[in-house]
Amino acid sequence: MNAYDEYMKEVVKPMRAELVNVGFKELTTAEMVNEHMAEANGTSLVVINSVCGCAAGLARPAVSEALAEVQNKPEHLVTVFAGQDQEATYQMRAYFEEVPPSSPSIAIVKDGQLAYFIPREQIEGFPMEQIKDHLVQVLNQVTTA
């Protein structure tokens, strides 16, 4: 591993921990993604994490707060890190090819099928509370359907 990769690994630790600390499992390889997608029954909340400011100030806090507020929590919380775990991110995105790649983004997958997708365009520039409310509303609909 070169000095840049080592540096970035350290820089993103707290960004990874922010989701792991609220119950997310990191999928860091394509194999982990495939295993999750093959075995996960019910609803999975998938966060495509990123180092950008809108992930730090909007996406991750909105997801954390939404999970604290939502009535029916998804059975599975998983995350891949764009720009860091490239194979895992590429593989996860292959499961919802109908939407353009974007990070950060939030996907709701139900029984292996994409049920809802919140792209970066619906995160960046919006108030965190609005993103949280949007996610709570969608999760309450998808997890009870």
Q: Which one, of 54, 83, 57, 74, lies nearest residue 135 by Cα? A: 74
- Angle value at C-alpha 61, between 57 and 65, nearest 5 degrees: 155
3-state SS, residue 105: strand
Residue 52 bears catalytic tag? yes
Pairing type for strands 43-49 and 105-110 reads antiparallel
Residue 54 bears catalytic tag? yes
Q: What are phi and psi of 105, to 5 degrees?
A: -155, 165
How far apart are alpha carbons 32 and 28 in whole angstroms?
A: 7
Cross-strand partners of 106: 47, 118
Q: Which of 27, 33, 54, 88 is catalytic?
A: 54
Q: Which of 19, 52, 136, 138 is catalytic?
A: 52
Q: Measure the CA dihedral 98/99/103/107, to 10°.
A: -80
- Annotated active-site positions, please? 52, 54
